[in-house]
């Protein structure tokens, strides 16, 4: 089989790596890929942007691609799945209408309300003055969300009115997320612990993968600005097997059923960001693709059935397909360019990746890297994702940081407390 993976981050490297383990696959193309996908034996990078849908369709036809797997949210929101399917090409991911679950916070909130899915109370606004008046009336803490796509950085959990008003100013006046984000959603603050539920669906059947916990803030102890994710681990003790079943029955299935009522068939990944407080489980947000870095840890635990699930979902039939997880824990630590998520420099040589990969049950996934003269250089804010699998959470955390210790590049930084919440929940 020939597979095309679209995207260039750590998530896409993990997808390439996991799909390549299936003996039926003899060739994978990554568009555009990164320094890590270029090093995978079965994979070849192709110089095409993830958003260049026409070029990707031509490539898929010319190279007889059996399945295309979409990593990032932008091409999904642009309708890449619709265009591929019009050409009779098999592709994994939700279509443009379904991808609104991520592309529009207001749309997702309306779906949740109609489906009876537990979530925070909210109001939506399209101008600064009304939003400021509402925030001053409600008080802090409060959550401000840009309605559209913002690369994981469009959410402000404001602990003070000043912070909330600054978020509104950035969106409406400074327009840091562009003209497209002229609508915002303001939500009540939810108490609890966040976790990420990932599942694969064909629009009717749902196969849960596992629940992970991401670390969004750039500094230890959840301090500093939000990032695309500084590390993750799975399974997350805050969401046991009983709660996992509840999420499938009370959140995932009602979501796809409500969309079906609207004439929308949701095929692909269900990503539900959860807020768990005791027995209460509420949805923070939905995404339309594998999270990053959640994808890296979730895929590291999968033993078999992954490619079958991708194919089944794309074809609209998951019946009889099972995904088997290893009875192990996975932890990943993101190494970043100093200054991220604000200003940072790139082009620095990275050393020690091979040494880290030689450690047992460790895989270094590349995110913001490129190859140049046989060297791996930094090319983004999130640079590497050092992922370890072991018998329990404490062991996988220690192993991941063993991998981190082998790697160096100028201005590198990383959090030193990944998984700490999980250990606390386990009483360790």
286-315 mean pLDDT: 97
Predicted local distance difference test score (pLDDT) of residue 9: 96
Per cent of the chain over pLDDT 90 is 91
- pLDDT over threshold 70, residue 167: yes
Predicted local distance difference test score (pLDDT) of residue 176: 80
Predicted confidence band of residue 174 (pLDDT cuts 50, 70, 90): confident
Rounded distance, CA 208 to CA 195, Å? Answer: 14
Predicted local distance difference test score (pLDDT) of residue 178: 77
Rounded distance, CA 315 to CA 265, Å? Answer: 12
Closest by CA position to 32, among listed 19, 43, 22:
43
- pLDDT over threshold 90, residue 341: yes
Predicted local distance difference test score (pLDDT) of residue 151: 64
342-349 mean pLDDT: 96
Mean pLDDT for the chain overall: 95
Q: What is the per-residue pLDDT across 110-125, written as a single tens digit (0 to 9) for each? A: 999 999 999 999 999 9
The DSSP-derived string for 75-129 is HHHTTHHHHHHHTT--EES--TTTTHHHH-HHHHHHHHHHHT--B--EEEESSHH
- pLDDT over threshold 90, residue 177: no
Distance of CA 11 to the CA centre of its chain: 7
pTM: 0.94
The full set of domains in the chain, from first to last, is 2-95 (3.40.50.20), 127-182 (3.30.1490.20), 193-325 (3.30.470.20), 329-425 (3.90.600.10)
Predicted confidence band of residue 155 (pLDDT cuts 50, 70, 90): confident
- pLDDT over threshold 80, residue 150: no
Predicted confidence band of residue 328 (pLDDT cuts 50, 70, 90): very high
Predicted confidence band of residue 173 (pLDDT cuts 50, 70, 90): confident
Predicted confidence band of residue 53 (pLDDT cuts 50, 70, 90): very high
Predicted local distance difference test score (pLDDT) of residue 153: 65
The DSSP-derived string for 3-53 is EEEEE-SHHHHHHHHHHHTSTT--EEEEEE--TTGGGSTTEEE----TT-H
Rounded distance, CA 322 to CA 226, Å? Answer: 35
222-234 mean pLDDT: 93
- pLDDT over threshold 90, residue 181: no
Q: What is the per-residue pLDDT across 282-291, written as a single tens digit (0 to 9) for each? A: 999 999 999 9
- pLDDT over threshold 70, residue 382: yes
Predicted confidence band of residue 386 (pLDDT cuts 50, 70, 90): very high
Predicted local distance difference test score (pLDDT) of residue 377: 97
Predicted local distance difference test score (pLDDT) of residue 115: 98
CA distances (Å), origin 198, targets 148, 158, 271:
21, 27, 5
- pLDDT over threshold 70, residue 180: no
Helix axes 253-261, 105-115, angle to 10 degrees: 100
Predicted confidence band of residue 179 (pLDDT cuts 50, 70, 90): low
Residues 6+ apart with CB under 8 A from 324: 302, 303, 304, 305
Predicted local distance difference test score (pLDDT) of residue 175: 85
| Secondary element (H or E) of residue 155 | strand 155-158
23-31 mean pLDDT: 98
Rounded distance, CA 286 to CA 99, Å? Answer: 10
């Amino acid at each position: 089989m020939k597979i095309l993976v679209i995207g260039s981050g750590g998530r896409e490297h993990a997808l390439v790596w996991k799909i390549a383990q299936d003996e039926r696959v003899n060739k994978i193309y990554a568009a555009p890929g990164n320094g890590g996908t270029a090093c995978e034996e079965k994979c070849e990078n192709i110089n095409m942007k993830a958003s260049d849908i026409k070029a990707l369709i031509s490539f898929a036809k010319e190279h007889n691609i059996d399945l295309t797997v979409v990593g990032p949210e932008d091409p999904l929101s642009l309708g890449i799945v619709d265009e591929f399917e019009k050409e009779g090409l098999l592709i994994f991911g939700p279509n443009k209408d379904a991808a609104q679950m991520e592309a529009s916070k207001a749309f997702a909130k309306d779906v949740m309300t109609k489906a009876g899915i537990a979530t925070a109370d909210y109001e939506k606004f399209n101008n600064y003055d009304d939003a400021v008046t509402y925030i001053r009336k409600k008080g802090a803490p409060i959550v401000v969300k840009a309605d559209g796509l913002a690369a994981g950085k469009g959410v402000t959990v404001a602990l003070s009115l000043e912070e909330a008003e600054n978020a509104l100013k950035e969106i409406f006046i400074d327009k840091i997320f562009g003209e497209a984000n002229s609508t915002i959603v303001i939500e009540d603050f939810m108490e609890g612990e966040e976790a990420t539920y990932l599942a694969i669906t064909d629009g009717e059947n749902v196969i849960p993968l596992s629940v992970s916990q991401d670390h969004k803030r750039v500094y230890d102890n959840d301090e500093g600005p939000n990032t695309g994710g500084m590390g993750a681990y799975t399974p997350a003790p805050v969401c046991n097997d009983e709660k996992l079943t509840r999420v499938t029955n009370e959140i995932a299935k009602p979501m796809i059923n409500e969309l079906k009522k609207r004439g929308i068939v949701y095929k692909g990944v269900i990503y539900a960001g959860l807020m768990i407080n005791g027995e209460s489980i509420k949805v923070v947000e939905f995404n339309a693709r594998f999270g990053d870095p959640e994808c890296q840890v979730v895929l590291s635990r999968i033993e078999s059935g992954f490619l079958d699930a991708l194919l089944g979902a794309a074809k609209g039939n998951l019946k009889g397909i099972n995904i088997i997880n290893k009875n192990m824990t996975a932890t990943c630590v993101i190494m970043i360019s100093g200054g991220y998520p604000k200003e940072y420099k790139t082009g620095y040589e990275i050393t020690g990746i091979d040494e880290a990969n030689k450690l047992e049950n460790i895989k270094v996934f590349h995110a913001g890297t490129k190859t140049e003269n046989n060297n791996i250089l930094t090319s983004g804010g999130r640079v590497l994702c050092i992922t370890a699998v072991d018998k329990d959470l404490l062991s996988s955390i220690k192993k991941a940081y063993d991998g981190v210790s082998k790697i160096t590049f100028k201005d590198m930084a990383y959090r030193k407390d990944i998984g700490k919440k999980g250990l606390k929940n386990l009483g360790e």
